[in-house]
Amino acid sequence: MNLPQHGSNPQYIYDKMGIPKPDKWIDLSANINPLGPPDNLMKRWVDFYNEISDYPDPHALLLKKQIAKITDVDIGSILIGNGGSELITLLGRVFAGKNVLIIEPAFSEYEKVCRANDCRIFYHQLNESEWKWEENEMAEKLDDMDVVFLCNPNNPTGIHYPYSVIVKLIKECAQRNIFLIVDEAFYDFLEDYVPITPLVNKYEHLIILRSMTKMFAIPGLRLGYMLANQQIIEKLTTYQPHWSVNTLALLAGQVCLQDGAFVQNTTGYIRFERERLFSFFRKEGFAFSPSQVNFYLLRDPLEKNQLSLFEFLLRKGIVPRHTYNFPGLEGKWLRFAIKSTEENNQLMEVLKDWKQRP
């Protein structure tokens, strides 16, 4: 099914599905903080106007200093990018032609970039019953690999693999000289996160990706960063276009990283709404992934695939994310972002209508 490859921009989903667009819709397909950008960013926004007549700092020094402080890595081990997608694209260039293992389900951009760079792609599919991997089985899959992609917290399931599990995989990859890329785009939605960032100083094959667009609700600005061995960063920089990150994004990043209270308020809100939604799903007989962040997978176990539910929701003005381009899922689940209380209530009402249909 030729559907859009990412969430957001619901008009394209309606066009592809041949469903008339309702006057109003709720977009639950993009995993962005429902509280919106921090208030501090709005207060500073007018001040940023005076900066747009100058070129941005090509080294993003001030933002790197902030990131170095919160991650315990050297400035030389940080690369700022035009969102996580640019950083993944750069990694594809560096690892062109290599053997790549993707732990699935996972963000579809990994495979897309690897295919564009003639990588040989292999998969380790997680079991839907627990969404976890067996260590012995994983060790076998690592044979002859050059690179491993792991999304943690996982997109699309929302499941977080704890520090002890990740460290074991880091060590296993290090022993085999395999580069492990851990995509932590949603790490800051976790309440029990133990940082692996200091391990970049110890393991030269560890690469960590982070996005700032999700937590701080600034996807229109495009901002992310990578932590890795300095030699890797230097090599990636040679492929990055000059001034790929604009001044507004750099300034916004500096303001956002100073607002710890905003992150804390967000995680508390997300936990409350997630527990409320999950309680409803259990009561109504829906299956869902035990997410720990701001999105989750959902399906009606009475349906073989979720296309009928997908169409029903679209006609009711609810836009979830399809899973046809997630290997191993192929439409068997739908992904939903946690949004405002009112929007979550509307979702529950529509799902109740689905269950009560003739």
- Give 10-residue mean pLDDT values along the chain (358 residues): 60 81 90 96 93 94 97 97 96 98 93 97 86 74 95 95 94 96 97 96 97 96 97 97 95 96 97 98 97 97 92 95 86 95 98 92
Q: CA–CA separation, 286 vs 299, rounded Å?
A: 6
Q: What is the pLDDT of residue 3?
A: 58
Quote the pLDDT of residue 8. 57
Pick the CATH number of 10-30+261-355 from 3.40.800.10, 3.90.700.10, 3.30.1330.100, 3.90.1150.10: 3.90.1150.10
Q: For residue 334, list its beta bridge partners.
A: 298
CATH architecture for segment(s) 56-258: 3-Layer(aba) Sandwich (3.40)
For residue 290, say if its preceding peptide bond is cis, omega within 30 degrees of 0. Answer: no
Helix or strand (DSSP H, E) at 308: helix 307-315
The dihedrals phi and psi of 104, each to the nearest 5 degrees, come to: -105, 155
Q: Which residues make up the CATH 3.40.640.10 domain(s) of the chain?
A: 56-258
Candidates 228, 224, 236; CA nearest to 187 is 224
Q: Answer yes or no: are the C-beta atoms of 5 and 325 closer than 8 Å.
A: yes
Spatial strand order of the sheet with 287-288 comes to 287-288, 295-299, 334-337
Q: Where are the beta strands (DSSP E) in the chain?
A: 26-27, 78-81, 99-104, 120-125, 147-151, 179-183, 206-211, 224-227, 287-288, 295-299, 318-319, 334-337
**CATH 3.90.1150.10-classified regions of the chain:** 10-30+261-355
Residue 76, token pair as written in the block: 């030389």
**How many Cβ atoms from other residues are within 10 Å of residue 298's Cβ?**
23
In 10 A of CB 94, how many CB atoms?
A: 16
Asked if 300 contacts 337 with a C-beta cutoff of 8 angstroms, the reply is: no
